[in-house]
Structure 1
Amino acid sequence: MQAMRSVTRGRDGYEQWCHDVRAICGRFESRAPRYLDDFAGHIALHRRPGLEFAQVATNAHSLAKTGHDTRAEDGLYYFLIYQRQGRSVLSQQGRQAMLDTGDLALIDSRLPSEFVYLADTQHVSVHLPCEALERRLRSPRPQLARTLAAASPMGTVLGGFVEQIAARHELFGEREGGALTDALLALLAPLADDSEHAGGRARDWARVAAYIDERLDEDLDPQDIARSCAVSVRSLYRLFEARDTTLGTYLRERRLACCAEALSTPAWQHESVTQIALRWGFKDSAHFSRSFKARYGMAPREWRHRPR
């Protein structure tokens, strides 16, 4: 079943094309070509049971989905973009993929993204359910906005496969649609797997955690931590986001944990509660006592003298 097709030209056609893009691909906003009367655009959504893809052609300057207009109802899909004609730049999560004819890249429809078209362009966007792809990965998420070149061996295979789906979709029946999507996921998963990047992040985290533990008594600044651990400040924050925490929360929790351990250790019994708090980076004893009680359910002195 073909759900929607739109071929539009000129100023009025541009508004219709923008409306149809939002209906098919989500809440994207377009930047018009320089001369709006010269606009030309085409978009079509094709659906078979188990298979969904869109064909887009335009001379518009760009399409963008920002954090403000991203909505869950846009669908839980990864879009596999196949550059059928022309050139474009695809951006997501601080990465850019330059796509020439025949190249491919993957984006997450749930996240902000941008397409900048460098010439009249055509692309195919295959809509892959997020859960179906993520089940096949070793890493939690796939690599996004990474160019898979048409000249590479797997780029040739995958691009040719998508081209045949787009060219011959009307010949596929109900059973073939799901089989084609499964085959596409099987081909894509090893290429999209972010396990190498995940390994790099694990090493980054190990350096950051060790650096912090050695300096809990210091005033730790994000810029200094990032510079000393050879990561960007943005990457530093992402390391903590991946663990559902923040740098400030992590520092407080580590300092409290070290204080709790010291208060329980005979070797530290000669040190006062205030001295232990200062040793692990708390500058205010009253603030330390409140934070400790909120975390462990009793005051530091009660913790020190609790039955063990």
Structure 2
Amino acid sequence: MAAALNRIVESASGREFAGLARNLFGNVRLDFGAADEEKSRMVSAMLGACRLTRLQADRHIVFGEHATAGPDDPNAIKLLLQTEGVASLDQGGLHARVSANALVIYDPSRPYMLTNSTPVRQLLLQLPRHVLPHAAVDRLTMPFTAHAEHDGMCRILLSLMDSTMHEIDHLDTARRSSVGQTMIDLVRTMIGADLRQAKPVANPLDLLLQRIKDFIDGELARPDLSVSMIARRMGCSVRYIYRAFEVECLTPSDYIWDLRLQKAAARLRDASGYAGEISGIAFALGFSSSAHFSRAFRHRYGVSPSQWRKARIS
């Protein structure tokens, strides 16, 4: 049981620290300057739709320089809890000091600079945008800050995040998801979302499904498009992606290939017939070879791509 749980806990130390940070947090650059990068440690785990990370490092600067997220960057809001050390976040013209037992919530798709001016210990929670009210996310043009000494919800969240990381190896998937949902509810309350008085909103899974479909539509040309890539970009677990597709009665992978074939059929209707055009359509839609495309197309439509094209021309 413990071995199975540990496989979904990621960790890194020393010179591997920066690489895992980029993998988990997207478009960031770390600068340790003259500090000791070998002192860096990080442990990270998925909690249902959330990701919780504990890290410690010598003084360093994190640069989140590009407002537009890349196709592989997790589309998540970040919540940073400082347990030791001093840091500051500069974003949107605001200089937010982050000290012991304080937190800052920010939108990492907007340019920012996080300066850790001393060795730090931090807890970082990533929440997919779709789990937070749109109005709350829209307010994050500048960081939102709170302190455990003055905010009871902040104190509760800090305690929950800290205890969760200590018990992470002993929590199964269902318990992790439950803890993650509790953290989402706490954050929604902290940033002023009164859920009891809010108007009904669409099912979060329906919103997620539409965002996934939009992402897939824009990335069909990538042969490496996969469920794990989509989960990273959406900032949630692979299991959550599959849950979103349950209403479609097909898997995410089946949806990707079916959409590729639909778009291929549409493009073949307008094909002019020059040599290599069919292969060009196949490669432009992420198929690894003409043979693969031809087999999949025949299975879907009962004829070869060239027969389909000729039938539309005649």
What TM-score do the two structures reach when normalised by structure 2? 0.53
How big is each residue's C-alpha offset from its partner over 1:101-125, in whole Å with a ceiling of 9 and x where there is no partner? 1111112232222210121101111
SS at match of 1:27: coil
Match for residue 159 of structure 1?
158
Match for residue 168 of structure 2?
169
Separation in 1 of the partners of 2:137 and 2:129?
13
Shift of the 24–104 alpha-carbon distance from structure 1 to 2, 3 Å rule, reads: same
How much is the aligned-residue C-alpha RMSD, in angstroms?
2.6
Separation in 2 of the partners of 1:140 and 1:167?
33
The residue identity in structure 2 corresponding to 1:30 is L
Residues 74 and 109, structure 1, Cα contact 8 Å, conserved in 2 = no
Written as runs of structure 1 = structure 2, the 5 A alignment for 1:107-118 is 107-118=106-117
SS at match of 1:148: strand
Separation in 2 of the partners of 1:77 and 1:63?
17
Separation in 2 of the partners of 1:68 and 1:105?
19
Match for residue 92 of structure 1?
91
Residues 74 and 110, structure 1, Cα contact 8 Å, conserved in 2 = no
Match for residue 12 of structure 2?
6
How big is each residue's C-alpha offset from its partner over 1:29-63, in whole Å with a ceiling of 9 and x where there is no partner? 11223255x74211222124444212221114211
Match for residue 134 of structure 1?
133
Shift of the 140–7 alpha-carbon distance from structure 1 to 2, 3 Å rule, reads: closer
Residues 50 and 177, structure 1, Cα contact 8 Å, conserved in 2 = no
Match for residue 44 of structure 2?
45
Q: Displacement, 1:144?
A: 4.4
Pairing 1:34–2:60 present? no
Separation in 2 of the partners of 1:163 and 1:169?
10
Match for residue 184 of structure 2?
185
Shift of the 31–192 alpha-carbon distance from structure 1 to 2, 3 Å rule, reads: same
Match for residue 18 of structure 1?
18
The residue identity in structure 1 corresponding to 2:120 is T
Structure 1 unmatched runs, 5+: 196-308
SS at match of 1:185: helix
Residues 47 and 180, structure 2, Cα contact 8 Å, conserved in 1 = no
**How many residues are matched?**
187
Q: Displacement, 1:151?
A: 0.5
Match for residue 146 of structure 1?
144
The residue identity in structure 1 corresponding to 2:80 is I
The residue identity in structure 1 corresponding to 2:58 is N
How big is each residue's C-alpha offset from its partner over 1:70-124, in whole Å with a ceiling of 9 and x where there is no partner? 4242111111111122111122222232111111111223222221012110111
The residue identity in structure 2 corresponding to 1:148 is A
> Sequence identity, in percent?
12
Work out which of the two has the higher radius of gyration on C-alpha atoms and give 1 or 2. 1
SS at match of 1:169: helix
Separation in 2 of the partners of 1:24 and 1:60?
20
Separation in 2 of the partners of 1:190 and 1:63?
28
Residues 45 and 52, structure 1, Cα contact 8 Å, conserved in 2 = yes
Separation in 2 of the partners of 1:163 and 1:98?
21
Residues 141 and 194, structure 1, Cα contact 8 Å, conserved in 2 = no
Residues 51 and 126, structure 2, Cα contact 8 Å, conserved in 1 = yes
Separation in 1 of the partners of 2:129 and 2:140?
10
What TM-score do the two structures reach when normalised by structure 1? 0.54
Shift of the 69–77 alpha-carbon distance from structure 1 to 2, 3 Å rule, reads: closer
